[in-house]
């Protein structure tokens, strides 16, 4: 069958979709190109905000209009949280929760078998599933098209590593969250915090290197919590990933070097020990992404975050002391309940004073079943939320521009990527500055020292 994945949201979703797609290819199915009509569309959804939910629904509707005969399977966070809502969308055939998504290869194989049987009975060319021709077993499956289990009870970890191109590979090292911040649904969408053993991550990373990856990105929901399931620690994982390049691996991987990026890590879990390790490591990129969410201590308390803004500022200061050229990205949320004008002004002043490189701005939206909705708090009008978001986006642009200008004239190592943009190619430096140069096929997936 020809299958198309449409993935929304985070890098973790992308990694999982890519791994499922790879398994389908190994089972003999095909990836539908953009100019082909798919038999099956898999939509891996995000549900971090109302806007994300809206985009999920919009994507499903667009796919159904474009491919009315395709079987649509919806999975991911939105499917876990609102399965019955999704089941009512026209064109949706199956809704699978986070744990059930790993049954997609088996489900697609069943759909292919059913379609083949139906085609034979009709003496017509192979087509999609016809519910009128199903036997008892198939009818039972049709009645179970919504398959969403209790994710908080799941103990199993599904490790994945998957590339988005020849250059980088995302490696899932952790899933779930135990924090239950008052505004967030992720613990209900992803389950409890869990992780594989370090030795399993190392095997995934070594396999990625053998397949040609030059950059490994370790990802998860709350990766600093790594080790909860296995009695290990995040710093132990980092040390192991810094020692992947043994001679056997390097020979098989054409003698290449590699680098590792850490995705988002909570400030209370990003210790000075970790920062110091990155500063002296052989392979870790000087790149940090740290969730702040609010620069007001009062709002952080309302959110039930596990740090103060003073601790956050200390983390940023320590990074700048030991890795002055590091890229520091920051997650910021605006307009949460309880964010009064005074708290907002305090937040804005704090973020302006931070020596960071970029802000990733989220506008708060009410999420069902979150504790924040049960609290008697000031509600920020939606237009004011949008105004505050616009201000932070402008602050982010200023900080990114200043970061780039600060590094002009500095030597840096760029990893060139395959995408051709006119007569140019692009890549990222170790500290996440995007650069361009004349297209040269021979440079794809190679490191080069350049002058910024």
Tell me the average pLDDT across 246-256: 48
Coil/strand/helix, residue 111? helix
Pairing mode, if any, of strands 71-76 and 92-96?
A: parallel
Q: Residue ranges of the domains in the chain?
A: 2-149, 153-388, 411-451
- Give the per-residue pLDDT at 52: 93
Tell me the pLDDT tens digit for each residue of 306-334: 999 999 999 999 999 999 999 999 999 99
**Which parts of 8-102 are beta strand (E)?**
30-31, 40-45, 71-76, 92-96
Tell me the average pLDDT across 25-54: 93
Task: Determine what percent of the chain falls in helix, strand and coil, rounding each to the nearest 5.
Answer: 40, 20, 35
Q: What confidence category does residue 36 fall into, taking pLDDT thresholds of 50, 70 and 90? A: very high
CATH of domain 2-149: 3.40.50.12160
pLDDT at position 251 over 70 = no
End-to-end CA distance of the chain: 47
Positive/negative CA dihedral, 302, 305, 311, 313: negative
pLDDT at position 412 over 90 = yes
∠ CA 200-204-209, rounded to 5°: 145
Q: What confidence category does residue 164 fall into, taking pLDDT thresholds of 50, 70 and 90? A: low
Pairing mode, if any, of strands 358-363 and 434-438?
A: unpaired
Tell me the CB-side half-sphere exposure of residue 62, using CA atoms within 13 A: 9
Tell me the pLDDT tens digit for each residue of 272-294: 999 999 999 999 999 999 999 99
pLDDT at position 373 over 70 = yes
Helix (H) or strand (E) holding 84: helix 83-87
Q: For residues 268 and 312, is the Cβ–Cβ distance under 8 A? A: no
Q: For residues 55 and 117, is the Cβ–Cβ distance under 8 A? A: no
Q: What is the pTM of this model?
A: 0.89
Tell me the average pLDDT across 34-41: 93
Q: Note the CATH architecture for domain 153-388.
A: Alpha-Beta Horseshoe (3.80)
Can you read off the two tokens belonging to residue 67? 């491919």
- Work out the mean pLDDT of the chain and round it to a whole number: 90
pLDDT at position 56 over 90 = yes
* Weakest mean pLDDT among 254-268, 327-341, 398-412: 254-268
**What is the rounded CA–CA span in Å between residue 207 and residue 62?**
37
pLDDT at position 78 over 50 = yes
* Weakest mean pLDDT among 156-165, 199-208, 428-437: 156-165
Domain 2-149 identical in fold to domain 153-388 = no
Exposed / middle / buried, residue 257 (Cβ in 10 Å: 0-12, 13-18, 19+): middle
Which H, E and C letters describe 382-399, residue by residue? HHHHHHHHHHHHHHHHHH
Residues paired with residue 412 on neighbouring β-strands, in sequence order? 450
């Amino acid at each position: 069958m020809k299958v198309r994945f449409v993935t929304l949201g985070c890098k973790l979703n992308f990694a999982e979709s890519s791994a499922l797609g790879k398994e389908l290819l190994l089972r003999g199915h095909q990836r539908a190109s953009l100019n082909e009509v798919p038999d099956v569309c898999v939509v891996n959804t995000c549900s971090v905000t109302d806007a994300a939910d809206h985009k999920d629904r919009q994507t499903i509707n667009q796919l159904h209009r474009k491919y009315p005969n395709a079987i649509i399977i919806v999975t991911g966070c939105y499917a876990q949280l609102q399965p019955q809502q999704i089941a009512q969308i026209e064109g949706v055939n199956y809704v699978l929760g986070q744990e059930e998504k790993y049954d997609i290869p088996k489900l697609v194989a069943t759909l292919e078998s059913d379609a083949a049987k139906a085609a034979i009975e009709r003496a017509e060319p192979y087509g999609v599933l016809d519910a009128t021709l199903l036997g008892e077993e198939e009818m039972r499956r049709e009645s179970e098209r919504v398959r969403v289990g209790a994710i908080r009870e799941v103990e199993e970890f599904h490790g994945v590593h998957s590339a988005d191109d020849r250059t980088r590979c995302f490696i899932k090292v952790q899933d779930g969250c135990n924090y239950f911040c008052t505004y967030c649904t992720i613990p209900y969408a992803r389950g409890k915090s869990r992780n594989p053993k370090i030795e399993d991550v190392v095997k995934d990373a070594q396999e990625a290197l053998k397949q040609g990856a030059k950059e490994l990105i370790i990802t998860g929901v709350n990766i600093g919590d790594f080790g909860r399931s296995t009695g290990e620690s995040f710093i132990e994982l980092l040390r192991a990933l810094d020692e992947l390049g043994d001679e056997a691996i390097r020979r098989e991987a054409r003698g290449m070097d590699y680098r590792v990026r850490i995705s988002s890590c909570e400030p209370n879990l990003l210790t000075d020990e970790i920062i110091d390790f990155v500063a002296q490591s052989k392979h870790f990129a000087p790149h940090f992404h740290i969730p702040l969410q609010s620069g007001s201590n009062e709002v952080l308390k309302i959110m039930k975050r596990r740090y103060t803004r003073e601790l956050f500022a200390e983390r940023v200061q320590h990074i700048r002391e030991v890795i002055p050229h590091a890229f520091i990205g920051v997650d910021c949320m605006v307009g949460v309940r309880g964010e009064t004008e005074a708290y907002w002004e305090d937040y804005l002043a704090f973020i302006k004073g931070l020596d960071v490189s970029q802000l990733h701005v989220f506008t708060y939206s009410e999420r069902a079943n979150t504790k924040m909705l049960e609290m008697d708090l000031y509600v920020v009008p939606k237009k004011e939320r949008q105004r505050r978001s616009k201000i932070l986006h402008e602050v982010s642009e200023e900080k990114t521009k200043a970061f780039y200008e600060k590094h002009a004239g500095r030597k840096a190592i760029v990893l060139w990527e395959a995408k051709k943009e006119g007569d140019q190619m692009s890549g990222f430096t170790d500290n996440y500055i995007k650069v361009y140069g004349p297209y040269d096929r021979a440079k794809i997936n190679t490191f080069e020292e350049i002058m910024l």
